[in-house]
């Protein structure tokens, strides 16, 4: 029964990530798009945790840790690019 909650929450978080995609496409400036991408990355990390709990696999949590670290590197690179230093 608890597993159904996790699957439900995972579906909602996936929908929210798609909602953030709208700002990624529409955003008038590049920083707006970067914010939307950062938001989506956070949602994906949360989604991975929820799915790991639902399917009972620790490996997915490890993937979430690596994803969080790599998405940070990506955000830093985009920020550097906006500043015009790359």
Partner 1 sequence: MFIFVVSFLMYLLLVWSGGGIPLIEVLIALILASVTMAAFRSWHKGRKISMRGLDPKRWFGFIYYLFGPFAVGLAKANIDVAVRVITGNIRPGIIKVDPGLTSDLAKTMLADSITLTPGTLTVDVDEEGAFYIHWIYVEDENPSEEQVYGSFGHWARRLAE
Partner 2 sequence: MTFLIVGILILVGLFFNTLGAFSLYRFPDVYTRLHGATKCTTFGTLFTMFAVVAYSLSKLIEKGEARFGVFIIHGAVATLVLLITNATGAHAIARAAHRSGIFPARAVVDRLEEKEEAKGGVSR
| 11, 24, 51 from 21: Cα distances, Å | 16, 5, 21
CB 51 within 8 A of CB 74: no
* Segment interacting with partner 1 (CB under 8 A) among 29-37, 46-54, 57-65, 68-76: 57-65
Considering the rule CB under 8 A, would residue 68 count as an interface residue with partner 2?
yes
CB 13 within 8 A of CB 46: yes
> Mask: binding to partner 2, 25-64, rule CB under 8 A, as x and -?
----xxxx-xxx-xx--xx-xx--xx-xx----x--xx-x
Give the span between the Cα atoms of 61 and 10, in whole angstroms.
Answer: 14
Give the span between the Cα atoms of 12 and 8, in whole angstroms.
Answer: 6
Residue numbers of the site for partner 2 (CB under 8 A)? 1-2, 5-6, 9, 12-13, 16, 19-20, 22-23, 29-32, 34-36, 38-39, 42-43, 45-46, 49-50, 52-53, 58, 61-62, 64-65, 68-69, 71-72, 75-76, 78-80, 82-84
């Amino acid at each position: 029964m608890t597993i159904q909650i996790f699957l439900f929450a995972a579906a909602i978080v996936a929908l929210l990530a798609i909602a953030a995609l709208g700002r990624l496409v529409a955003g008038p400036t590049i920083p707006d798009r970067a914010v939307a991408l950062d938001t989506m990355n956070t949602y994906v990390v949360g989604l991975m945790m929820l799915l790991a709990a639902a399917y009972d696999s620790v490996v997915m949590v490890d993937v979430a840790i690596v994803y969080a670290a790599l998405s940070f590197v990506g955000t830093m690179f985009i920020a550097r690019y906006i500043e015009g230093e790359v």
